[in-house]
Structure formats: structure tokens, C-alpha cells
Amino acid sequence: MTQAAAIALREVKRVTILGATGSVGRNTLDLIARNRESFYVEALTAHRDCDGLIALARQIQPQLAVIGDASLYERLSEGLAGTGIACAAGADAIVAAAERPVDWIMAAIVGAAGLAATIAGVKQGAQIAIANKECLVCAGEYLTTLARERGAKLLPVDSEHNAIFQVFDQQRPETVEKIILTASGGPFRTFSRAQMRDVTPEQAVAHPNWDMGAKISVDSATCMNKGLELIEAYHLFPVAAEQIDILIHPQSVVHSLVSYIDGSVLAQMGSPDMRTPIAYTLSWPTRMVAPVSRLDLAEIAQLTFEAPDFGRFPALKLARDSLLQGGGAPAILNAANEMAVAGFLNGQIGFLTISDIVAATLEDREMVEWLRPLNDVQEIIAADQQARRVAKARLERAQ
């Protein structure tokens, strides 16, 4: 690299996108493509969408492209032949991509599978845009402590946490009375338990407001997504569990609120487009132009709110109880939920059985020893794996 090139690179933000082919990754790259002079892409990774990764790499021209499925290495290499883009494959290669020195990393690998790479990014002290809520659910205390030690900054990408991040008084947290996470209620907000018994995966992934992947869409339908966000918020902001409320807001315009001790309530609003919170983290601490529809409150005319129904959506209570129990409970909750959602999407179980599997896994006698405080990432991974084994056995019995 020439000296002039090195100087030029110092004037732009070096970025890596973990989970580039998912909806968050693609929205991130859309913003970068519109501002190419401001960003230098070091690495892109994907799990199995090799063709998607090839197409994005050819468009964006990163230094490195990594596919998580090692069997797809030859296909990736052939697809990028002649581009000068380095190729790698396998789980270790994704972690290595996260270790490459950059200013900013989008952590958008779905599920607990993204934990190792996110930890690698935190260890290098980068700004970490957290789109993978499962990392904070499973290892929130570990990750936040590590971030403080390494000088990394955790920037929330979820629209709700990003909203709180924008209006939370970080300098005077003692003035915050509570934070309020809004939730659309998902596609079955008005369904009875009897109606939800026969819903299909196709219905569950059809979110009314947001364009998301299958897993997170099902989580939204069960309201587990909001439960996981509750745990995530606890680790992201200096508040007690009792200071976090959930409010159903079907229009998805008010993304979340912060209530202060003087009675003021500050809300962040916007059209339901993930490019807004992504842009805020990508350009933080400043702001950048985002090509999203501008909010027209006169056209919307009405915003409605309602209390969550813990009876129809038991995942909310399971998540809150896991947070209050602490220890390995949140990691067990997350692992069991990932297994149950996969079982539902594969047609193994019905929609209502998802929460049943999670509850049964948390109560299983084989999980008792993992409910204690987990001291390091190896113990967190062990608890996760044990919970998956227990949940899998219960899935097989439920068929």
C-alpha cells in the first residue's frame, strides 16, 4: 500500500460486515454503496448464501470474503476468481475476519452462532454495531465487561434499542425513571390462543411492518423477540430489570421511549426502515443521510398503544423470568428458543409448542446445574449446547 493510499484510508471508516447477506447486512451495504467515499470495506461474511456473498463482494470489492460453510469454499473461490478478493471458509475463518483491524463491525450473524465473531471484534476495540441480540442475551455481562476493558463501543442496531440510545441521557442515568420498549405485536396480535394453534410458518414470517429473516419474524410472532430485547436492554443501559417496560404499538412509528424522573417522556420516531438505526450506528457520533421514507404524522393520523398480553404470549414472561433469575437462564432460554423456532419452521411442531419447548427446557432437571452464574465464555457455550440437546429431545417427543 502506498503512503498516499494509507493516508486516504485514515480519512474513511474501515468496516467489516458479519452476516452480509441477511436483511441487516444488505441494508448496511446499501448505505455504504451510497457513500463509497466514506467507507472502506475490509471483509464480508455469510453462512451459506454463497451466491449472495459473491454478488455483494463483486459489487462492494472488500479485501476478504468468508463463507461459514467450509464445503462452499471452492464455489466462493471460483465465483470471485480474477477479482483480487481473498477468500476463506469455515467458522474459524469468520472469527479471523472479525479480528482484522477495522473501525466498525456490523455484528449481524443470526443467533448464538455469532457470539465468537462478536467477541473477536470487541477484543480489538472496534465500534460494534450489535444487530445480534442473542450475543447480549447469552453473554451480556461478559461482553459489556470486555467492551469496557478493550475500549470497544457497543452500538445497538435493533430499532428499539437504537431509539433508546438516541434519547437516553448517558451523562445522568440517575434521572431515568424507566425505559419503554415498543413492540408491533406481530402478525397474531389480535389472535386468540385457539386461532394461533393452527397458524403456519408462512403466516408467522409475514411481519406486518418490517422486512426481516424467518427466525426473527417468528420470534416477533411469539413475542419472544421482545423478551430477548428486554434482556438485551438490561445489558445495554444502566437500569434495573424492574425499570424496563414493554408497550404494544402496532404502527411501529414510536420505536421506544425513555421516561424521566420529572415526568418527561422522550421518544424516537421514524418510518419502519432498518436503514435509519443502521445509519445512526454507521456514522456515530454524527448522522448521515439515509434514503428512507420521511415520517408524515398527519398522513398516519393515529398512533395506538396497548399493554402486552402475557397470557396469550407466554414468551414474554419466560424472558422476564429468565432475566430475573440470572445465571445461565437467559442462555438456556435463547438456545431452547432457537431450537424450537427451527422445529416450527421445519414443520416438526405447532406454533404454540414453541414456548412450551422453551419452558420445559428451562425446567428440565438436566439444566439445573447451568442455572448458576456462568463465569466465562466456555461455560456459556457449554450451557447453550446442553440446552440445545435437551430442547432437541423434547422436540422429538412433541412430534
pLDDT in tens, 152-161: 999 999 999 9
Closest to 343 (Cα-Cα) out of 332, 356, 362, 330 = 356
What does the alpha-carbon distance between residue 103 and residue 101 come to, in Å, rounded to a whole number? 7
Listed in sequence order, the DSSP H helices in the chain are 3-10, 23-33, 50-60, 73-79, 91-99, 115-123, 133-150, 159-167, 193-196, 201-204, 214-222, 224-236, 275-283, 297-300, 315-325, 329-345, 353-363, 377-398
Model confidence at 133: pLDDT above 90? no
CB 68 within 8 Å of CB 92: no
Give the CA distances from residue 305 to residues 194, 251, 261, 302, 359, in Å, rounded to whole numbers and listed in that order.
24, 9, 22, 10, 28
Computed over every residue of the chain, the mean pLDDT equals 94
> Given this model, what pLDDT does residue 309 score?
97
Phi, psi of 301 (to 5 degrees): 70, -40
C-alpha cell at 354: 414453541
> Given this model, what pLDDT does residue 364 score?
97
Q: pLDDT grade, residue 212 (50/70/90)? A: confident
Peptide bond into 285 cis (omega under 30): yes
> Given this model, what pLDDT does residue 112 score?
76
Listed in sequence order, the DSSP H helices in 244-328 are 275-283, 297-300, 315-325
For residue 60, what is the DSSP state?
H
C-alpha cell at 384: 447453550
Choice among 109-123, 139-153, 308-322, 384-398 with the minimum mean pLDDT: 109-123
> Given this model, what pLDDT does residue 83 score?
97
C-alpha cell at 394: 423434547
The stretch 324-349 carries a mean pLDDT of: 96
Instruction: Give, to the nearest 10 degrees, the angle between helix 159-167 and helix 224-236.
Output: 30
What does the alpha-carbon distance between residue 381 and residue 208 come to, in Å, rounded to a whole number? 34
What does the alpha-carbon distance between residue 318 and residue 335 come to, in Å, rounded to a whole number? 13
Q: How many residues does the chain have?
A: 399
Would you give the end-to-end CA distance of the chain in angstroms? Answer: 58
Q: What is the pTM of this model?
A: 0.91
> Given this model, what pLDDT does residue 6 score?
41
The stretch 46-51 carries a mean pLDDT of: 97
Q: pLDDT grade, residue 1 (50/70/90)? A: very low
> Given this model, what pLDDT does residue 169 score?
97
> Given this model, what pLDDT does residue 105 score?
98
| Region for 242 from its dihedrals, namely left if φ exceeds 0, alpha if ψ lies in -120 to 50, beta otherwise | alpha
Q: pLDDT grade, residue 4 (50/70/90)? A: very low
The stretch 88-114 carries a mean pLDDT of: 94
Cβ-Cβ contacts under 8 Å for 224 (sequence gap 6 or more): 315, 316, 318, 319, 337, 341, 354, 355, 358
Q: pLDDT grade, residue 7 (50/70/90)? A: very low
Q: CA triplet 196, 202, 206: central angle to 5 degrees? A: 85
What does the alpha-carbon distance between residue 335 and residue 325 come to, in Å, rounded to a whole number? 16
- Residue 254: which H helix or E strand, with range? strand 254-260
The stretch 45-67 carries a mean pLDDT of: 98
The stretch 234-250 carries a mean pLDDT of: 97
Q: pLDDT grade, residue 206 (50/70/90)? A: confident
> Given this model, what pLDDT does residue 111 score?
77
The CATH 1.10.1740.10 portion of the chain extends over 168-271+293-398
Give the CA distances from residue 280 to residues 132, 152, 289, in Å, rounded to whole numbers and listed in that order.
16, 17, 9
The stretch 205-218 carries a mean pLDDT of: 82
The CATH 3.40.50.720 portion of the chain extends over 3-156
Pick the CATH number of 168-271+293-398 from 1.10.287.70, 3.10.180.10, 3.30.2350.10, 1.10.1740.10: 1.10.1740.10
Statement: 3-156 belongs to CATH 3.40.630.10: no
> Given this model, what pLDDT does residue 236 score?
97
Closest to 326 (Cα-Cα) out of 120, 128, 140 = 140
Closest to 310 (Cα-Cα) out of 185, 210, 182, 398 = 185
355 Cα distance to chain centroid:
20
What does the alpha-carbon distance between residue 331 and residue 40 come to, in Å, rounded to a whole number? 35
